[in-house]
Chain A
Amino acid sequence: MILGFVEHESGVPEETSLEMLTMARELATDEEAVLCAVVFGDEGAALKDELGPYGIEEIHHVTHDRLEGYAPEGWGESVAQLVSDLGASTVAAAGTDRGHEVLAHAGATLDAPMATNCVDVTGAGESYEVRRDRWGGSLVEHARLEGETKLVTAAEHEYPIEEAASTTEPTVNEFTPSLEDAHLRVRVERVETADEEGIPLGEARVVVGGGRGVGGPEDYDKLEELADLLGGTVGASRAAINEGWRPHDDQIGLTGAQISPDIYIACGISGAVQHMVGCKGADKILAINTDSEAAIVQKADYAVIGDLHEVVPELTDAIREVT
């Protein structure tokens, strides 16, 4: 049996979880195994109608009077107990914060091997061949994953969301794990909402990025002006953040934000691997750089060879004229 950990918001499955089900269903088909889902939360049972199109045959709804909110260890322990109960051969989750955390706990409890951020998983029984992302996808690892129980997470946005050939009528089984105090040591006490200002980097249609070439905190004003005019937002490289020119929230890349704008205008950024994995989602990249040999010039779609301090203000003026 293949068990997918499905994250949901009030009974509506997350897209990343549906992507993961594409991976899990391929495995279930190859192994002729039953595809099941494990869900948490009050509205878990509401997923019955939502998950039928994806070929889920059984939904295991974890309920426990001490599992009100999210509790990483409690959830991981519940998944581990369910795996033992059902004799599941594989547990899959989306490669999200929660997916990784819950599966890591389950894997630690079961002492089972776990492969994260997979982009391809094939095989049957106790042995899988996996391909997984490293360095944000700039490197792919081929690996063997073997064991009675195997844990896999699907890299985000690598698998398409696909419905199954035929819709199922999942049964909903309530599962009550036996939990001890120790499993509930860590849980969400409360959620604090942030007051959003401006457009979040991840959602902006236009991103103007500034790197070490900007030269200091003041000159980001020029980038801000341009971004404002284009209805976009400003991002930065890690070098600029380390200099203290911008807050960390602005960082694009491996250890920062992933962006997916229509256009990313990268100013004074050299194009390091760790920066570029953050802008894989950009439709087009325009680089403004003094160095025609900079790596970003190869990686961008368009380039202007020149000093950003001259080009950006001129560009801003020119746009003002046409709009």
Chain B
Amino acid sequence: MNVLACIKRVPNTGAKIVLTDDNQRIDTSNLGFTMSPHEECAVEEAIQQVETHGGSTHVLTLGPEEATEQLRTGLAMRADEATLLETDGEEWGPRETASAIATAIRDLPEDDAEFDLLLFGNESADMANYQVGVRVATELDLPCVTGIKSLEVEDGVATAKREIGGGEEVYEIDLPAVVSVKEGINEPRYASMRAKMQARRQEVGRLEPDRTEAPGTFEKTRLEAPEADDSDAMVLGEGTDAVPEIVELLESEIEVL
């Protein structure tokens, strides 16, 4: 079984989001980068499915040259291959992204081994458009289900479960299919130091994606970091000396005692 996981490089924002002066992007001068937790689980799921069923795993991202860092994280987790759809670092919208990914997927498997399972995150961490996976599925005419927290494959059929209030919806889908997953579906592994070293030397495939024009637009004009309430907390005290104050608070202010 050949499994693809699509990941996205995003800033690892900290305690406060700071924007660049032109309000066009997050000021990342003091930040590291990562992939979304949902996508980390997509990579882990790809690897686990291939460990069970055999085959090969592929991680793919559309982003700037620097996004190879996230692909290498995937390789260090023991994905087999990686592909970068290199952009100039501009933020691409969900339709252009989906269209470029769909084109790459059509072109990718070199030995004619098509992907049986195409995994996405339920939503990207930075944009949360909730649509790239669905649009890729539509372009490739594949069945698709989103928000999955449990996935089992047997005889070419995926049994996928989605949490709803009080239980789970169960879907059964013939492969090949697109599945978008949520964090919690598995516990992503830590890459060993050795695997990280090896991943640094592994080859990353590159494709130049076309930015297609689609009818209608959805275009960012600017970002705004809403004012957070940064007034300091009322300090009730230090160490165990504060315990009587906490009890008083819970009793008379919050009224939970």
Do the beta carbons of A248 and B184 come within 8 Å of each other?
Answer: yes
> Does B215 belong to the interface (CB within 8 Å)?
yes
For A140, the chain B residues whose CB sits under 8 A away are 223-226
- Nearest CB in chain B to that of A107: its residue: B131
- Contacts A142-B220, A251-B184, A273-B13 given; does A301 touch B171 at CB 8 Å: no
Identify whether the interface residues of A are mostly helix, strand, loop, or mixed: mixed
The contact of A304 among B36, B130, B229, B237, by CB within 8 Å, is B237
> Does B113 belong to the interface (CB within 8 Å)?
no
> Does B222 belong to the interface (CB within 8 Å)?
yes
- Nearest CB in chain A to that of B171: its residue: A186
Tell which of B95, B126, B177, B216 has the most Cβ of chain A within 10 Å: B216
Do the beta carbons of B234 and A302 come within 8 Å of each other?
Answer: yes
For A138, the chain B residues whose CB sits under 8 A away are 13, 17, 225-226, 228
- Contacts A144-B217, A302-B233 given; does A97 touch B162 at CB 8 Å: yes
Summed over the interface, the residue pairs from A and B with CB atoms below 8 Å come to a total of 269
For B98, the chain A residues whose CB sits under 8 A away are 108
Do the beta carbons of B126 and A298 come within 8 Å of each other?
Answer: no
For A46, the chain B residues whose CB sits under 8 A away are none
Do the beta carbons of A311 and B229 come within 8 Å of each other?
Answer: no
Do the beta carbons of B170 and A188 come within 8 Å of each other?
Answer: yes
How many residues from B make CB contacts under 8 Å with A?
88
Q: Which of under 10, 10 to 19, 20 to 34, or 35 or more describes the interface residues of A?
A: 35 or more
Expressed in whole angstroms, the Cα–Cα distance for A145 and B231 within the complex equals 36
- Nearest CB in chain A to that of B231: its residue: A298
Do the beta carbons of B234 and A185 come within 8 Å of each other?
Answer: no
Expressed in whole angstroms, the Cα–Cα distance for A129 and B131 within the complex equals 20
Q: Per-residue 0/1 for A47-72: is the Cβ within 8 Å of any B Cβ (1 yes, 0 no)? A: 00000000000000000000000101
- Smallest Cβ distance from B16 to chain A, in angstroms? 7
- B93-135: which residues lie under 8 A (CB-CB) from chain A? 93-95, 98, 123, 125-131, 134-135
> Does A230 belong to the interface (CB within 8 Å)?
yes
> Does B155 belong to the interface (CB within 8 Å)?
no
- A50-104: which residues lie under 8 A (CB-CB) from chain B? 70, 72-73, 97, 100-101, 104
- Contacts A139-B26, A139-B224 given; does A205 touch B171 at CB 8 Å: no
Tell which of A143, A302, A304, A311 has the most Cβ of chain B within 10 Å: A304
Do the beta carbons of A143 and B219 come within 8 Å of each other?
Answer: yes
Do the beta carbons of A134 and B127 come within 8 Å of each other?
Answer: yes
Do the beta carbons of A205 and B217 come within 8 Å of each other?
Answer: no
Do the beta carbons of A315 and B246 come within 8 Å of each other?
Answer: yes
> Does B256 belong to the interface (CB within 8 Å)?
yes
> Does A20 belong to the interface (CB within 8 Å)?
no
> Does A199 belong to the interface (CB within 8 Å)?
no
- Smallest Cβ distance from A117 to chain B, in angstroms? 6
For B74, the chain A residues whose CB sits under 8 A away are none
Q: Per-residue 0/1 for A242-266: is the Cβ within 8 Å of any B Cβ (1 yes, 0 no)? A: 0010001101001110000011000
Expressed in whole angstroms, the Cα–Cα distance for A192 and B163 within the complex equals 9
- Nearest CB in chain A to that of B132: its residue: A104
- Contacts A135-B17, A142-B224, A192-B167 given; does A108 touch B131 at CB 8 Å: yes
- Smallest Cβ distance from A222 to chain B, in angstroms? 13
- Smallest Cβ distance from A248 to chain B, in angstroms? 4
Expressed in whole angstroms, the Cα–Cα distance for A315 and B242 within the complex equals 9
Do the beta carbons of A113 and B218 come within 8 Å of each other?
Answer: yes
Expressed in whole angstroms, the Cα–Cα distance for A188 and B226 within the complex equals 39
Q: Which candidate, A21-29, A32-40, A146-154, A167-175, is the interface stretch facing chain B?
A: A146-154
Do the beta carbons of A249 and B243 come within 8 Å of each other?
Answer: no
Q: Per-residue 0/1 for B231-251: is the Cβ within 8 Å of any A Cβ (1 yes, 0 no)? A: 111111111101110110111
The contact of A113 among B95, B237, B246, by CB within 8 Å, is B95
Do the beta carbons of B94 and A193 come within 8 Å of each other?
Answer: no
- Nearest CB in chain A to that of B161: its residue: A192
- Contacts A231-B256, A295-B16, A300-B233 given; does A182 touch B141 at CB 8 Å: yes
The contact of A306 among B134, B147, B240, by CB within 8 Å, is B240
Expressed in whole angstroms, the Cα–Cα distance for A287 and B244 within the complex equals 15
The contact of A254 among B125, B184, B216, B236, by CB within 8 Å, is B125
Do the beta carbons of A318 and B247 come within 8 Å of each other?
Answer: yes
20 A/B residue pairs, CB under 8 Å, sorted by A: A97-B164, A104-B146, A107-B135, A113-B216, A113-B217, A114-B94, A116-B129, A142-B224, A144-B217, A145-B218, A146-B218, A188-B169, A263-B254, A284-B254, A303-B234, A304-B238, A304-B246, A306-B237, A311-B239, A322-B257
With A97-B147, A116-B131, A319-B257 given, name 8 new contacts (CB 8 A): A109-B138, A114-B129, A135-B128, A188-B171, A230-B256, A254-B125, A286-B236, A292-B235
